[in-house]
Structure 1
């Protein structure tokens, strides 16, 4: 039997949740503010929610996000089972596995610094999400050229942690889709 896909693992675990815990899961997913919108998951079933997560995040990232949310809503057994199934399928979802994996924005830091030329819309979204503060926003906007702006953005995102990097990647996917597509192929 072929190994399960990330989507199958995720939809199976979401299906196992009680109605109340599934509601909590959807609420936490939207509260993360890193890509999933309320209208994408509100009143939707487990299959739609898993599909949305796979589309918004990468497969591995969707499993990691699901694991984090399971733990946040106190569904530790579901989180542990998700990790175990992901390992059996050869997918990395556990925090201990993903911490060893270099984040996309770290792996492609140099190219992103060189190739992202329009920084203002990215900054606007980071400010709105409270990843950066007004002072940092003003300081970055005052820098020239765009490469210096991106270096400063990296410093701010780096200091805010992995979830900020995830949000930064989501913003880059929206603002620079062709560049991110190109880098994902490498």
Structure 2
């Protein structure tokens, strides 16, 4: 997987000279607590601007660069920097509110090794499906995309109509 520095550089490198200059102008004009003065980017090459971005904004750099690229009309490059949210994250509120067949999903998470037995018991003993779903999000789904993919498979099996309905929404 490419590093944030490499991704940012590739995005800036794909810009025309005019768009790169517009990007640098937007960067200098950007509001916020961490600002980049014009002297830090004026006359610099793309790799040097990349270094300034990463050293100034650290982990937030890809999102900030994406925002600035969008502001200068370079939406295609902006999309490359910020990955699309996983279905489970994108539809968190709807899933918490609408999943009803929670017990088989919990069983599946236990069987697939996503949940330890103690966590399974804690969630099972929680009253109300919405509270159970919130606990699943808090205790299991923070573990990454692999866990979210397993959860998604179980949702497809137990709540297929809900999943189909949510897939219709952009």
TM-score (norm 1): 0.46
Tell me the residue number matched to 2:149: 166
Q: Tell me the number of residue pairs that the alignment of Structure 1 and Structure 2 aligns.
A: 91
Where does the alignment leave 5 or more consecutive residues of structure 2 unmatched?
1-79
Larger Rg: 2
The answer for the alignment partner of 1:123 in structure 2 is 106
Match of 2:140, SS state, is helix
Distance 1:107 1:119, change over 3 A: same
1:100 is displaced (CA, Å) by: 1.4
Q: Secondary structure at the match of 1:182?
A: helix
Mapped contact 1:140–1:153 kept (Cα < 8 A)? yes
Would you say 1:182 and 2:152 are equivalent positions? no
SS at match of 1:138: helix
Change (3 A) 1:169 1:99: farther
Runs of 4+ aligned structure 1 residues displaced above 3 Å come to none
* Unaligned residue ranges in structure 1 (runs of 5+): 1-96
The alignment status of 1:102 with 2:89, answered yes or no, reads no
Q: How does 1:151-162 map to 2 (within 5 A)?
A: 151-162=134-145
Q: Partners of 1:104 and 1:135 in 2: how far apart? A: 27
